[in-house]
Amino acid sequence: MSEEIKKLIIDYVKKEYLEEDSTTEVNENTKLISSGIVDSFSMVSLKMFLEKKFLVKIPDDKATPEAFDSVNNIIVLLKEFTKI
Amino acid sequence: MSNIGSYEEKYKTFKWEQSEKELEYGKNGMYNIGYYCSDRICEKGDANKLALIWEGFTGEVKKFTYDDIRVHSNTIAKLLQDNGVNVGDRVCLFMDKVPELYLGFIGILKMGGIAQPLFSAFGEEALFTRLDDAKTKAIITQKKHLGKVRRIKDKLPELTKIIIIDADDTTPQVNEIHFCMAKAHKVDKFDIVKVGPEVPSVLHYTSGTTGKPKGAQHVHSSIIAQYITSKWVLDLHPDDIYWCTADPGWVTGTSYGIIGSWANGVTQVVLDAGFGTEKWYAFIQKYKVTMWYSAPTAIRLLMKEGLDVVKKYDLSSLRHLASVGEPLNAEAVIWSEKAFGKPFYDTYWQTETGAIVITNFPGMKIKPGSMGKAFPGVTATVVNAKTYEPIETPGTVGLIALKPGWPSMMRTYWNNKETYEGKFKNGWYICGDRSSIDNEGYFWFVGRDDDVINTAGHLVGPFEIESALLEHKAVAESAAIGKPDPVNMEVVKAFIALKPGFEPSGDLELDIMNFIRKKLSPLAMPQDIEFVPSLPKTRSGKIMRRLLRAQEWGEEIGDISTLEND
């Protein structure tokens, strides 16, 4: 199940935040915020995607750059609020 | 002792010629900024001093002495010349905060080109608008941003040189040039073009309420103001380790992230990574940063993380802190005193002013929440919004106005003289911001005088967002306004009426957000969308953003006699 969720998030990041012809590798450990793939403003749209997809409400004070800095970090965050 | 000493004394006696004299500006007919930021520092005996310590998000570190800056910028200047870029041609820098951005900026200036830095997160439409307006001849970019350039290049006939700094071994497409700084033949001697002081140097685009973004055109003599304001306001000392967190895609990143710091010969550090509280504190600790110039949004994000995390790091190297981009709230000033043992000094200026014009000075009494006082050599006041006469009564709100003539003032808007001339009223340059002045001469920011949205210190034009929204298949009409935000001061909110056949939904909201983010930029992306049946308009059909904004901010709605459906 966790693998499916990882893939779902990785696919979304690739589709929405990388150029179509980008050769940048994204895996569960790839730095998303600190690498600039997702900037702090775009975190809002990523947060919205996660909330809609997993039917959760992530409090703003939990949506920190560190919490969004990799797919693995995001999964840890989601686990706080869902039963994934 | 701070560099400025007594502000009152300097305000009475200072003339810009003092800065020119310190810089030896114009010696041997040399006015080129590129020379003053590299070769001159080497000639003064600091060739081996570190000019730039760069760290990437992976922890990779690169160091450059002033002699490295001189040689690498020569190399880029020659590359441009060899590829047919001429004096006066616009050369866009479209990169992350990599070393080539800083070196390229100096290189463009050295060969007489006009540097046009653009924020690398701009989407292709925002990029196209600015390159099309400037009729840009060359662009220096990275592989990761090349896709955006390739998708628009056919609509830009003047754009004939696309320089890629990190290309792989693939064959370049038409008009593309692969350039690798590490492998390039180093150019030790380059004849810096002897431009005059009034020759255009930098073109920075900024947004307005209506129409397309405007290119504020600066000239080489802007360095006279950028040098002395760096010295007196940022209080740069020769042994400082200076960190300006701004991206050179915006004016702070060039005026104070390149020109001011290198003209003063200091060592600056650059972190090419996204924001992270602990990452930033660790960076300050690692490089023993002494002077830190940042932005209120970043400071408020640090505040959110609290004081405990500050204590985990040794930040005792910090000697002076300053802030720019939007008003620094009193709470942030007070918090920084608790966190770092010293306040952030707020500075006020704009893309158009090219350098700090109103500010808090080292050694001056800080009134938390105030913008401070006019820089010596700058005459600043607030004027009545109708008569444009200076307001004499302390505490009365008016428009911030500056007497033209400081060296870094823009000389025009590119291809838009009419709008430029419209910025001057009754002999004053009108900044477009509202403020009052208290009985001790301190300025107190109130807000913008127009619909431009200030988000995290960057101006975003509502017209550009609304135009892009109309290109979305579901949007019939829209209005974009600034919505209050505790961290970014304002974020974009869009009111949208949908076309028949479309229904409001969370998925549609997200789709529209991403549409704007990719087309324009993350800054322009609405962080909140409200679907409405229709938008309030005047009888002549103009959308009343003012009304929507007043509702959002809980302000008086004011006169709505022209409302169409009242």
B122 vs B518: CA distance, rounded Å: 8
φ/ψ of B107, rounded to 5, equals: -60, -45
**What does the longest C-alpha to C-alpha distance in chain A come to?**
35
Q: List pLDDT tens digits, range A2-17.
A: 888 999 999 999 999 9
Looking at residue B264, the DSSP 8-state letter turns out to be T
Cβ proximity of B334 and B366 under 8 Å:
no
Query: Helix B124-134 to helix B506-519 angle, to the nearest 10 degrees?
Result: 30
Helix (H) or strand (E) holding A6, with range, is helix A2-17
Domain architecture of chain A: domains with CATH: 2-81 (1.10.1200.10)
Q: Which CATH number fits domain B453-553: 3.30.1440.10, 1.10.3720.10, 3.40.50.1980, 3.30.300.30?
A: 3.30.300.30
B482 vs B490: CA distance, rounded Å: 5
B275 touches chain A (CB under 8 A): yes
> CB under 8 Å to B544, separation ≥6 — which residues?
B535, B536, B537, B538, B560, B562, B563
Contact (CB<8Å) B522/A61: no
A35 touches chain B (CB under 8 A): yes
B67 vs B63: CA distance, rounded Å: 11
Coil, strand or helix: which one is B253? helix
Helix (H) or strand (E) holding B243, with range, is strand B241-244
Chain mean position to CA B38: 22
Q: Is the pTM of this model over 0.95?
A: no
φ/ψ of B453, rounded to 5, equals: -100, 125
Looking at residue B440, the DSSP 8-state letter turns out to be T
> CB under 8 Å to B501, separation ≥6 — which residues?
none
Contact (CB<8Å) B527/A34: no
> CB under 8 Å to B201, separation ≥6 — which residues?
B33, B109, B114, B115, B195, B218, B219, B220, B222
Residue that is written with structure tokens 């650059």 in the block: B270
Instruction: Look at residues B371, B357, B373, B346 and name the one whose alpha carbon lies nearest to residue B408.
Output: B357
Interface confidence, given as ipTM, is 0.92
Contact (CB<8Å) A48/B513: yes
Identify all chain A residues contacting B57, using CB atoms and an 8 Å cutoff: 31, 34-36
Q: What pLDDT, on the 0 to 100 scale, is given for residue B543?
A: 84
Identify all chain B residues contacting A48, using CB atoms and an 8 Å cutoff: 506, 509-510, 513
B200 vs B222: CA distance, rounded Å: 10
Closest CA of chain A from B518, distance in Å? 8
Looking at residue B42, the DSSP 8-state letter turns out to be I
Coil, strand or helix: which one is B420? helix
Q: Domains of chain B: which residue ranges?
A: 7-434, 453-553
* Burial (Cβ within 10 Å: 0-12, 13-18, ≥19) of residue B385: middle
Identify all chain B residues contacting A60, using CB atoms and an 8 Å cutoff: none
Q: Where are the alpha helices (DSSP H) in B63-142?
A: 66-82, 99-110, 124-134
Identify all chain B residues contacting A47, using CB atoms and an 8 Å cutoff: none
Cβ proximity of B340 and B315 under 8 Å:
yes
Among the partner-chain residues A20, A48, A61, the one whose CB lies closest to the CB of B147 is: A20
Q: Which long-range contacts (CB under 8 A, 24 or more apart) does A22-25 make?
A: A22/B144, A22/B147, A23/B143, A24/B144
Identify all chain A residues contacting B278, using CB atoms and an 8 Å cutoff: 66
Contact (CB<8Å) A36/B523: no
Contact (CB<8Å) B517/A65: no
Q: What is the pLDDT along chain B (566 residues), one digit of tens a residue?
A: 899 999 999 999 999 999 999 999 999 999 999 999 999 999 999 999 999 999 999 999 999 999 999 999 999 999 999 999 999 999 999 999 999 999 999 999 999 999 999 999 999 999 999 999 999 999 999 999 999 999 999 999 999 999 999 998 788 999 999 999 999 999 999 999 999 999 999 999 998 777 789 999 999 999 999 999 999 999 999 999 999 999 999 999 999 999 999 999 999 999 999 899 999 999 999 999 999 999 999 999 999 899 999 999 999 999 999 999 888 999 999 999 999 999 999 999 999 999 999 999 998 999 999 999 999 999 999 999 999 999 999 999 999 999 999 999 999 999 999 999 999 999 999 999 999 999 999 999 998 888 899 999 899 999 999 999 999 999 999 999 999 999 999 999 999 999 999 999 999 999 999 999 999 999 999 999 999 999 998 887 788 888 899 889 888 777 666 666 54
B241-244 β-sheet, strand order: B61-65, B50-56, B267-272, B241-244, B291-294, B320-323, B344-348, B358-359, B373-374
DSSP string, B470-498: TTSTTEEEEEEEEEEETTTEEEEEEEEEE
Contact (CB<8Å) A33/B276: yes
Mutate: best of B143, B250, B465, B489, partner A, most A CBs <10 A: B143
Cβ proximity of B264 and B227 under 8 Å:
yes
Q: Is pLDDT larger for residue A21 or for residue B526?
A: B526
B89 vs B418: CA distance, rounded Å: 22
Q: What pLDDT, on the 0 to 100 scale, is given for residue A22?
A: 82
| Banded pLDDT at A83 (limits 50, 70, 90) | low
Rg (CA), chain B: 23
Q: Which CATH number fits domain B7-434: 3.40.50.12780, 3.90.1150.10, 2.40.110.10, 3.40.570.10?
A: 3.40.50.12780
Q: Return the residue of A nearest to B145 by Cα.
A: A19
Contact (CB<8Å) A35/B523: no
A47 vs B274: CA distance, rounded Å: 17
Q: What pLDDT, on the 0 to 100 scale, is given for residue B565?
A: 57
Closest CA of chain A from B348, distance in Å? 24
